[in-house]
Structure formats: C-alpha cells, structure tokens
Amino acid sequence: MQELIKKLNGGTAEDRLNALKELVEKQEEKPVRRENDANNHIHTIYSFSPYSPTKAAYMAYSAGLTSAGIMDHDSLSGVEEFKKACEILGLGSTCGVEVRVKFDRGFGKINHPDQENCIYMAAHGIPAQNVKAFNEYLDFYRQKRYERDAKMCELITGKFGKFGIELDFEKDVKPLSEARDGGSVTERHLLYALAVKLDKKFGRTESLIAFLENDLGLKVSEKIKGFLLDENNEHFLYDLLGVLKADTAFFYIDADEEMPLAEDFVRTAKSFGAIPAYAYLGDVGDSVTGDKKAQKFEDDFLPDLIREIKAIGIETVAYMPTRNTPAQLQRLAKLCEENGMFEISGEDVNSPRQKFACAALALPEYSHLIDATWALIGHEAISTKEGLDAGMFSEKTKSELPNIKDRVKKYSAIGRKTI
C-alpha cells in the first residue's frame, strides 16, 4: 500500500490517477468521515506544495473530509487531475485560483505581507467548461512572474555568493516547479531551492544552525533545531524553508506586470462564472499559529475595505478560523452580515506539517462555513451543467434569491447531491 501511496506523487497525472484507483480498490479500511469539516484552499505542485493534485485529494480523503478544493497561485493546471481524483474518492470537489491584484485605495499594506496597495484574492467555483480559457488568461501573469523570479534569484546570489552559494532560476528553481506544464513559481520555490543548496553545503549539522543564526541573523527555535539536526526528518527542506522565509526583504522585488488591476480581474473571473473572493488576513499580535511575527494588516480599516471591495464586485470574503482570534472573526462575520457578503473558509495547505482537517469548523459558530463549502460545490456543478445563468451570483439568481443565506441554502443542497 505504501508503494501505491508513493506513486500518487510521481509520474504523470494519468499514472497518479491509476495508482489512486488501485489504492482505493485495495484499501479495506475507510477513514472516519468528518461531516463537520471542509477545506477548499489546498495548494498542489502547480503552485507550491509537497502534493500532486491526486495526492492532495487523497490526503483530504484520509483526513476524513467529505469535500476538498484545489487552490493554486496563478494556475488552474492541476484542476482536471484534482477533480478526477476527488471523483474516484467520492469527495465533493471545487476549484479555484489565488492571485495578487493591484488595489490602490490609499490603505497601504492590506493583506500582502511584503507589498502595499495590492491584495491577495481568489476566484472560486470555476465551471469546468471555462477552466482551460481561464488558465490561458492566467498564463501571461505566470510568464511575468517567472521574469521577476529570475531577478530575485540574482539578489539571493548577491547575498549568498560570498558563502559559495549561487541561485540560477532556470537551472536551480524552475525544475523544482511544474512551470513546464502551466504551474506557477513562487517565492517559496526560490527559498526551497536555497534550502537545497544549504543542505548540500552544510547537511544536517550544527554548522548549519550556526550559519543561520550567526551569518544570517535568523532565529531558530529549539524545536526547529531538533528538526534540522534530525537525519531521519523527511520534512527537512520544508523546515529549513520555514526558517529562511523569516527574511525575504533582501530579495523581494515588488510585483507589477504580473498583477492585473483588481477590478479587471473581478470582471474576468465573473465572465468565466467564478466567484471572486477577498482573502482576509487580519492583524497578527500574538500569532494564533505561533509562526508569524506581529504585523498590522487590514483590521484598522476593515469597514472601509469591505465597502471598497464591494464597489468593484467582490461579494465574498474567505477566512481561516485557525489563523485568527475569535474576536477578529466575530467582527469580520458581523461586517459580512451587514454587507450581505458570502462567507467561506479554507485552511491554506502548502507544506507537509499542515493538517488538512480544521477542527474549528466543528464549533457551532462556524457551522455555516460547512454549508458555504457545499454551496461553492453546488454553484460550480450547476454552472457546469446548466450554464452561467444558473450560478449562485448570476443576476438571474440574485433577483430570484436576493438574500445570501437563501442562496447558500439552495446551492449547498445542490452541492451535497454531487456525491
């Protein structure tokens, strides 16, 4: 069985799906189903992740989820494989894409830790007939991102060259990605490639720890030191990446051409039948997850921000219950209700130590997010079958069911019938 599980991450999409079919046929014990859980924000190798679309779907299934959603940066290239894998596993499924867009309204830093006057957002629930065309639209932005990636590699080399470490985009970084098949290359790819170089130079030694702390001035907790010195740690490169990403300022170049204007992206996403969503980050004080430094984001101007995103046609807000405080989420939920916004959740999964399950969704105050996930699935399914006018946010549907709660009820019922 372990050999089959290993095959879920290797070969071609066809190879992976065939291995999954064989695995499901041979697997006698099924996971305990977590009906009060969902995740529609799972990254795959088509952006940055240790999981192929097939393996990602299998991990969601193994965690007991009854539904799963793929969410890669700037790419929809993994969608077809992911949807097929979910079908094999009997999971409800939805697809989306995460992008950065220009949004200059005088707020400064909004929900992007490294850059002002732009936002992270997503397009959810893309009907199957429009995935290919939407992905072709995204290709221009992927290509522009590759150009910026190459320049950032030069800056990394500028800092690490004196230590005998150079980073070449074409040789060292691109091969770690799925760029050849329409995948994106993110800053995490650059840091992962750097981690590979450091592993070759130092190995899992005290010399590596000394280099990180003394030469780079990075903080390494005792827990992480244990991980980095463990010869059997299969997540070593991801753990090292986690240390390195504490300092990206020296190589980060502001994105420009690779980001469309927010209003243009919203218009395009809607033309493809997708649901544009703002991704709430929230100020970080005492990090709920324990891995983020204190930073200010959108909380000080959240009501104004909600008004501005509504003005350009964003009617959905996505958030992660485990990443914010109850007070932050209560305030956000109240603002969403006051503004008739659709609330959805998705726990960002892009590294092997992250869990696919989200225990917080079992709490009564977040139960509506389960229905919201099934509503996304329902929107996607019926828009695929009957056309975009049947979608959850079409003008026809909104005139028939103006209240968002009524639409969630209708479309979640449709979604649940897909499995």
> Which position has the higher pLDDT, 388 or 359?
388
3-class DSSP state of 119: strand
Are 326 and 300 a contacting pair, CB within 8 Å?
no
Amino acid at 299: D
Complete DSSP assignment for 184-209: ---HHHHHHHHHHHHHHHH-SSHHHH
Which structure tokens are listed for 249? 């300022």
**pLDDT tens string 44-80:** 999 999 999 999 999 999 999 999 999 999 999 999 9
> Rounded to two decimals, what is the model's pTM?
0.95
* 292 band by pLDDT with thresholds 50, 70 and 90: low
Say if CB 321 and CB 358 are below 8 A apart.
Answer: yes
Q: Cα 113–119–125 angle (5° rounding)? A: 120
d(CA 68, CA 80): 14
Range of lowest pLDDT (63-72, 95-104, 279-288): 279-288
pLDDT of residue 290: 47
pLDDT of residue 288: 45
Q: Taking each helix axis as running N to C, give the angle between helix 131-160 and helix 262-271, from 0 to 180 degrees, rounded to the nearest 10.
A: 140
pLDDT exceeds 70 at position 291: no
Structural domain spans, the chain: 1-30, 34-137+260-416, 140-244
Q: Is-contact 249 90, C-beta < 8 A?
A: no
CA-closest candidate to residue 195, choices 178, 179, 211, 183? 211
Q: Helix, strand, coil shares of the chain as percentages rounded to 5?
A: 50, 10, 40
The helix/strand count (H/E) of the chain reads as 15, 6
Q: Round the CA-based radius of gyration of the chain to a whole number and report it.
A: 21
Beta sheet of 275-279, edge-to-edge order = 67-73, 92-102, 118-124, 275-279, 316-319, 342-345
CATH H-level, domain 34-137+260-416: superfamily? Metal-dependent hydrolases (3.20.20.140)
- CB count within 10 Å of CB 256 equals 11
Tell me the average pLDDT across 385-408.
98
Exposed, middle or buried by CB within 10 Å (0-12, 13-18, 19+), for 40? buried
Tell me, what DSSP letter sits at residue 390? G
Beta bridge partners of 123: 97, 276
